[in-house]
A and B are shown apart, each in its own frame.
Chain A
Amino acid sequence: MPVDQKLDLDAKIPDGSLEDKWDNHRFDMKLVNPNNKRKFDVIVVGTGLAGASAAASLGELGYNVRCFTYHDSPRRAHSIAAQGGINAAKNYQGDGDSIFRLFHDTIKGGDYRSREGNVYRLAQLSVNIIDQAVAQGVPFARDYGGLLDNRSFGGAQVSRTFYAQGQTGQQLLLGAYQALMRQVDRGSVTLHPRTEMLELVVVDGRAHGVVVRDLGTGEISSHSAHAVVLATGGYASAYFLSTMAKNSNATAAWRAHRKGAVYGNPCYTQIHPTCIPQSGDYQSKLTLMSEGLRNDGRIWVPKDPDETRPPEDIPESERDYYLERLYPAFGNLAPRDISSRAAKRMVDAGHGVGPQKNGVYLDFAGAIERMGVDGVEAKYDNLFQMYEKITNENPYRVPMRIYPAPHYAMGGLWVDYNLQTSIPGLFALGESNFSDHGANRLGASALMQGLADGYFVIPYTIGNYLAPMLGESPPPTSHEAFAEAEAEVRDKVFGLLSVNGTRSVDSFHKELGRILWDYCGMSRTAEGLEKARSEIRTLRDEFHKDVRVLGENETINQSLEKAGRVQDFFELAELMTVDAHHREESCGGHFREEHQTEEGEALRDDENYAYVARWRFRGLGEDPELIPEPLEFETVTPSTRSYK
C-alpha cells in the first residue's frame, strides 16, 4: 500500500535573499553532461503550455523524451483557449512595474497562501518568457512604433499584460507546440497523441513510468523512464459546468495521488467573474469572456430589483456600478474572487439581469463613446463576436451579461521548489500542481506559470534529480510494479464496461457538479460541506452500481473515457469538501460564510491557517491525512487585502 511509503515533504526553498535564491540554486544544482543527457528517458504527460514547453526544452537539451496527450494533436490542449494575456514585469510602459511589484501583487492577490520563494522566481522568469515567445514568432499586439503593447488585468494597477487580441493562449501554445514539433522532427521527442495516462508506476519509492490506454484501439501499455513529468492541467471541470475544455479532468494527478503523491489545497478553486450566464439545463459548458474586457467595460446592475426597462433606458442615477462604489482604487479591475462574490451578492439580492435574472451587466457604452466603435473593435472584436454567436445579442448595442463560473484550480499536486512531488522522480507542472497562486490566481498568471515551469524551471531541476542516476537503467516494463499497475487499469476499464446500469456518465457528472457548486462553490459553510461529502459518497456508490457505459474497449469509446474521469472526480470532490471544511477561515477563492468581516469580506486567520494543506491518501472511504506546510513570510507582511 502506498501509505507506508516515506515521502519527501521538504519544500526545499533555497537559502539566501529572495533575489538570489534561484541564481544560487541554479549554481548549486548538479548537472548532466550534454553527451549523457540522451542516456536518460523522461516521460512528459500533457502538451498544454506547461507540457509542450517542457517536452520541447528537454528534447532540445538532449534528453530522450516520450510525450503523451489524449488530444489528437498537441496543439489542441486546453491552454489554447486562454484569452486575456500573460503577465511579465518588463515595465515597458514605464508605469512603475518591477519584478518586485509583480511578486508583491501575486502574493497579495493569492491572499498570502503561496510561497515567497516560488512566486519571486516566477516574477523573475516572466521577462524571459516574453523574449522566448517573441523569438518563436508569437504575434503579440504591437503599437504603431512596432514595439510590444500591454494592457492591465484584475488585481494590478500597472499595464503588464502581453496579449494577442483575445487569443493569447492560442498563440503561446502554438509557439510551444511548434518548438515541440521541431524536436519531434529531430527525433529527440516521440509523440503519442490520443493516448491517455491511466496509472503511475512507482518502483522502490521512485516514479518510473506510466500505464496508458490508446484511445483509438484500447490497447493498454506500459512505459518506463528515469523520471515522469505530469503537466495535465486543472480540475475545475469537476463542477461539470465550467469554462474548461470538455475533456479537462483530474485523472493523471488523482491516480498519482492514490499512489502516494500528496495533494495541495484542493479546495482552492477559482470562480471567474466574467462568464456568459447559464441559459438552460442542456448546457455543456460555460464560456468565459476575457477579464481583459474589464479594462474598458463597466459593471453594473439596476438599483431597483424590480427593474423591467431595457438597460439603455435606465438612467445613470438608477444604476449601481457596485465595483466602482465598493472598491474605488481598483474598480472594475478588482481581483476575481472579490468581483465574483460581489456579483453573487447582487444577484442573490434580486438585482440580477437577463431573462433568468442570473447576470450583471458589462457595459461598453462609455467605451464606445470614448474610443468609437472602431477603437473597441480593434481591441475586443473577436470577443464581441464570440458573445454574439452564443447569445444572439449584439454587445455593441446592448451590454453583455456576465456571471461567475468555475474556471481554474489553484490546488493540485503538491510540489517542492524543484517542482518535484512528494514521490521522487515525479514532477508536476502548470495547472496540475498547486504552486504559486495561493488561494486566488490573478489574471494572466497561469500562462506565465505554465511556461516558466516548462521552459525555465524543469530543464534545470530535472537535471539535478537525474545526475546521480547516471548509468542506471530504468526498470523494465516486465517489472511486477508495471504488471500490477496494468492490472489495476484493466480492472477499472473492464469494470466500468461491465456495470451495465441505467444512467449515463454525463448524468452523474452533472449531479456531482451541482453538489460541488451548491456547497463547495462561491461560498461554503461547515454544514453544507458535511452534507456535500455525504451526498458525494452516496452518488459515488450509485455510479458504481448504475452507470451505463455502452460499447467496448477496443475502439474509440468516449463514454468509457468519460466514465474513468468522472470516477476520479468523485474521489477528488470528496477531498475538496474535506479540505474546505477543515479550513476555518476565508481566503481567496475559499469563502467560508462563518468567517467574514462586517462588510462581508473574507476574513483570513493567519495565526492558524498560514499553511499549505497537504493531503495524503489513505484509501477510499478513509479520512485523508493532513500534513500542513507552514508558510513563512520574510519579505512581505500579510495584511488585510484591501482593494479600496
Chain B
Amino acid sequence: MDLTLKVWRQPGPEAEGRFETYQAKGIDEHASFLEMLDLVNEQLTEEGIEPIAFDSDCREGICGTCGVMVDGEAHGPVENASVCQVHMFNYSDGDTITIEPWRAAGFPIQKDLIVDRTAFDEIIAAGGYITVPTGSAPEANLTPVDKPIADTAFEAAQCIGCGACVAACPNGAAQLFTAAKVSHLNLLPQGQPERYERVVNMVEVMEEYFGSCTNHGECQDACPKDISIDFIAWLNKDYRKASFKQMRAS
C-alpha cells in the first residue's frame, strides 16, 4: 500500500521543529509500523535526507523504548499495544498518517520522535524498590503470597515505562506510571516496611516533573499494558494514609 506521512522533525532539543511530508510506497500489510518507518528511512537515506530518529529496541512490546503519537493517539490505533506491535494491516492504501513525539513538559524532545524519559527513573530512585541487600534474602517460600494479591501485584508490575500515559494525559501527569510502580510493591508483603515512606517519596519526585492528575482517565485507554486506573485510587489511598501518619508523627 502507499501512504502519506506527516512526521515531526526536530534536529535537536533546542531547535525548532516542524512537520514534513513523506511518501511511504509499497508497504506490505504485514510490516509493523516501525518496519514501515525503517523503509521510509531507507528511502530517505537514498535521497540524501537524514533518516527520522525514533526509539525502539525489542520490538515485541515489552521494553517500552518505542512510543509516538500516531494521529493523536499514543502508540497508534491498536488497543493494548505499543507502536511496535501495530501492523500495517490496520491501515488502508492511500491513508495519511501523522506521527509526532510524546508531548509533555516532563519529557523534553531530544530529536525528531525521541524524548527524554529519565524523570521516570528518578521516580524509581526515590523509593521504587525494596531495601533488600544482595545475598541475605530468606528462603523464598517462607513468605507465601496469596494468589489474588500476587496476581494483582503482577498486573501493576507489567508497566513497561513507556510514558504513553503521560503523553495521553491533557495535564501531562504521570499518575498511572507512579501508581503502577507503587502498587506493585505496596501490595506485596515484601513491600510493607517501606510502604508509606515509598509512596510519599515517589509522589514528591513525580510532582516535581509532571502535571497534576484531574481524573481524565485517558491514560488507561492509552496504556499498552492495560494498567487500570484503579491503581491510581490505590496510590491516593496510600498517600493519604501516609500523610496522616506523618502528621501524627510530627
Tell me which residues across on chain A come within 8 A of B56, comparing CB atoms.
246
- Over the window 160-188 of chain A, the binary record of Cβ atoms lying under 8 Å from chain B Cβ atoms (1 yes, 0 no) is 00001101011100100111011011000
**Among B97-105, B152-160, B242-250, which stretch is in contact with chain A?**
B152-160
Tell me the smallest distance from the CB of B34 to a CB of chain A, in Å. 7
Q: Which of A247, A280, A392 contacts B28 (CB 8 A)?
A: A280
Whether, in the assembled complex, A337 has its beta carbon less than 8 Å from a beta carbon of chain B, the answer is: no
Tell me which residues across on chain B come within 8 A of A548, comparing CB atoms.
45
- Over the window 529-570 of chain A, the binary record of Cβ atoms lying under 8 Å from chain B Cβ atoms (1 yes, 0 no) is 000000000000000000010110001101100000000000
In the complex formed, the residue of B with least CB distance to A54 is B134
A112-159 at interface with B (beta carbon < 8 Å): 128, 130-137, 139-148
Tell me which residues across on chain A come within 8 A of B158, comparing CB atoms.
167, 170
Tell me which residues across on chain B come within 8 A of A433, comparing CB atoms.
none
**Among A103-111, A283-291, A416-424, which stretch is in contact with chain B?**
A283-291
Whether, in the assembled complex, B208 has its beta carbon less than 8 Å from a beta carbon of chain A, the answer is: no
Which of the listed residues B50, B111, B129 has the most CB atoms from chain A within 10 Å of its own CB? Answer: B129
Asked, given contacts A134-B190, A246-B59, A556-B53, whether A389 binds B141 with beta carbons under 8 Å apart, the answer is no
Asked, given contacts A92-B141, A137-B185, A178-B130, whether A392 binds B154 with beta carbons under 8 Å apart, the answer is no
Q: Are A76 and B188 in contact (CB under 8 A)?
A: no
Q: Are B134 and A142 in contact (CB under 8 A)?
A: no
- Over the window 184-195 of chain B, the binary record of Cβ atoms lying under 8 Å from chain A Cβ atoms (1 yes, 0 no) is 110010110000
Tell me which residues across on chain B come within 8 A of A181, comparing CB atoms.
121, 124-125, 128-129
Whether, in the assembled complex, A193 has its beta carbon less than 8 Å from a beta carbon of chain B, the answer is: yes
**Among A67-75, A296-304, A342-350, A480-488, which stretch is in contact with chain B?**
A67-75
- Over the window 114-139 of chain B, the binary record of Cβ atoms lying under 8 Å from chain A Cβ atoms (1 yes, 0 no) is 10111011001110111111110111
Whether, in the assembled complex, B1 has its beta carbon less than 8 Å from a beta carbon of chain A, the answer is: no
Q: Are B135 and A456 in contact (CB under 8 A)?
A: yes
Which of the listed residues A169, A282, A456 has the most CB atoms from chain B within 10 Å of its own CB? Answer: A282
Tell me which residues across on chain A come within 8 A of B129, comparing CB atoms.
136, 178-179, 181-182
Q: Are A145 and B121 in contact (CB under 8 A)?
A: no
Asked, given contacts A135-B137, A550-B48, whether A72 binds B118 with beta carbons under 8 Å apart, the answer is yes
In the complex formed, the residue of B with least CB distance to A378 is B151
Tell me the smallest distance from the CB of A216 to a CB of chain B, in Å. 6
Whether, in the assembled complex, B46 has its beta carbon less than 8 Å from a beta carbon of chain A, the answer is: yes
How many A-B pairs fall under 8 Å by CB?
214
Q: Are A283 and B31 in contact (CB under 8 A)?
A: yes
Q: Are B150 and A139 in contact (CB under 8 A)?
A: yes
Asked, given contacts A81-B60, A135-B130, A390-B85, whether A72 binds B116 with beta carbons under 8 Å apart, the answer is yes
Tell me which residues across on chain B come within 8 A of A143, comparing CB atoms.
147
Tell me which residues across on chain A come within 8 A of B50, comparing CB atoms.
550-551
Tell me the smallest distance from the CB of A168 to a CB of chain B, in Å. 11
Asked, given contacts A75-B161, A559-B45, whether A139 binds B116 with beta carbons under 8 Å apart, the answer is no
- Over the window 257-300 of chain A, the binary record of Cβ atoms lying under 8 Å from chain B Cβ atoms (1 yes, 0 no) is 00000000000000000000001101111011000000000000
**Among B61-69, B167-175, B212-220, B230-238, which stretch is in contact with chain A?**
B61-69
Q: Which of A131, A178, A245 contacts B140 (CB 8 A)?
A: A131
In the complex formed, the residue of B with least CB distance to A75 is B161
Whether, in the assembled complex, A507 has its beta carbon less than 8 Å from a beta carbon of chain B, the answer is: yes
Tell me which residues across on chain A come within 8 A of B53, comparing CB atoms.
556, 558
Please report the C-alpha to C-alpha distance between residue A74 and residue B41 in the assembled complex, in whole angstroms. Answer: 27
Q: Are B143 and A165 in contact (CB under 8 A)?
A: no
Tell me which residues across on chain B come within 8 A of A60, comparing CB atoms.
133-134
Please report the C-alpha to C-alpha distance between residue A109 and residue B134 in the assembled complex, in whole angstroms. Answer: 30
Please report the C-alpha to C-alpha distance between residue A523 and residue B137 in the assembled complex, in whole angstroms. Answer: 44
In the complex formed, the residue of A with least CB distance to B46 is A504
Whether, in the assembled complex, B87 has its beta carbon less than 8 Å from a beta carbon of chain A, the answer is: yes
Q: Are A81 and B58 in contact (CB under 8 A)?
A: yes
Asked, given contacts A72-B118, A76-B64, whether A135 binds B138 with beta carbons under 8 Å apart, the answer is yes
Q: Which of B27, B126, B144, B190 contacts A135 (CB 8 A)?
A: B190
Whether, in the assembled complex, B70 has its beta carbon less than 8 Å from a beta carbon of chain A, the answer is: no
Q: Are A128 and B30 in contact (CB under 8 A)?
A: no
- Over the window 580-596 of chain A, the binary record of Cβ atoms lying under 8 Å from chain B Cβ atoms (1 yes, 0 no) is 00000000000000000
- Over the window 426-438 of chain A, the binary record of Cβ atoms lying under 8 Å from chain B Cβ atoms (1 yes, 0 no) is 0000000000000
Please report the C-alpha to C-alpha distance between residue A455 and residue B133 in the assembled complex, in whole angstroms. Answer: 10
Q: Are B61 and A507 in contact (CB under 8 A)?
A: no
Please report the C-alpha to C-alpha distance between residue A206 and residue B62 in the assembled complex, in whole angstroms. Answer: 38
Whether, in the assembled complex, B5 has its beta carbon less than 8 Å from a beta carbon of chain A, the answer is: no
Q: Are A455 and B134 in contact (CB under 8 A)?
A: yes
Whether, in the assembled complex, B94 has its beta carbon less than 8 Å from a beta carbon of chain A, the answer is: no
Tell me the smallest distance from the CB of A306 to a CB of chain B, in Å. 25
Please report the C-alpha to C-alpha distance between residue A288 and residue B12 in the assembled complex, in whole angstroms. Answer: 35
Asked, given contacts A137-B188, A550-B48, whether A76 binds B137 with beta carbons under 8 Å apart, the answer is no
Whether, in the assembled complex, B22 has its beta carbon less than 8 Å from a beta carbon of chain A, the answer is: no
Q: Are A131 and B138 in contact (CB under 8 A)?
A: yes
Whether, in the assembled complex, B78 has its beta carbon less than 8 Å from a beta carbon of chain A, the answer is: yes
Q: Are A137 and B144 in contact (CB under 8 A)?
A: no
Whether, in the assembled complex, B81 has its beta carbon less than 8 Å from a beta carbon of chain A, the answer is: yes
Whether, in the assembled complex, A78 has its beta carbon less than 8 Å from a beta carbon of chain B, the answer is: yes
In the complex formed, the residue of B with least CB distance to A179 is B129
Whether, in the assembled complex, A404 has its beta carbon less than 8 Å from a beta carbon of chain B, the answer is: no
Whether, in the assembled complex, A493 has its beta carbon less than 8 Å from a beta carbon of chain B, the answer is: no
Q: Are B147 and A80 in contact (CB under 8 A)?
A: no
Q: Are B154 and A139 in contact (CB under 8 A)?
A: yes
Tell me which residues across on chain A come within 8 A of B36, comparing CB atoms.
282
Tell me which residues across on chain B come within 8 A of A522, comparing CB atoms.
none
Whether, in the assembled complex, A459 has its beta carbon less than 8 Å from a beta carbon of chain B, the answer is: yes
Whether, in the assembled complex, A320 has its beta carbon less than 8 Å from a beta carbon of chain B, the answer is: no
Whether, in the assembled complex, B39 has its beta carbon less than 8 Å from a beta carbon of chain A, the answer is: yes
In the complex formed, the residue of B with least CB distance to A171 is B157
Asked, given contacts A143-B147, A165-B154, A386-B61, whether A284 binds B135 with beta carbons under 8 Å apart, the answer is no
Q: Are A80 and B184 in contact (CB under 8 A)?
A: no
Please report the C-alpha to C-alpha distance between residue A638 and residue B246 in the assembled complex, in whole angstroms. Answer: 64
Q: Are B131 and A182 in contact (CB under 8 A)?
A: yes
**Beyond known contacts A131-B138, A389-B87: 12 more, CB 8 A cutoff:** A75-B64, A81-B62, A90-B140, A131-B137, A136-B129, A137-B185, A139-B154, A146-B145, A169-B62, A246-B56, A284-B35, A455-B135
Task: Point out residues on B near A: beta carbons under 8 Å.
Answer: 11-12, 27-28, 30-32, 34-36, 38-39, 41-42, 45-46, 48-51, 53, 55-65, 78, 80-81, 85, 87, 89, 110-111, 114, 116-118, 120-121, 124-126, 128-135, 137-141, 143-147, 150, 153-154, 157-158, 160-161, 184-185, 188, 190-191
A-B contact pairs, 24 of them (CB 8 A): A72-B117, A75-B64, A80-B63, A80-B64, A81-B58, A81-B60, A81-B63, A132-B132, A132-B135, A132-B137, A135-B190, A142-B147, A145-B144, A165-B154, A181-B128, A193-B118, A246-B58, A287-B60, A389-B61, A389-B85, A506-B42, A550-B45, A550-B48, A555-B111
User: Which 5 pairs of residues, A with B, have the shortest CB-CB distance?
Assistant: A146-B144, A178-B129, A135-B137, A139-B154, A134-B140
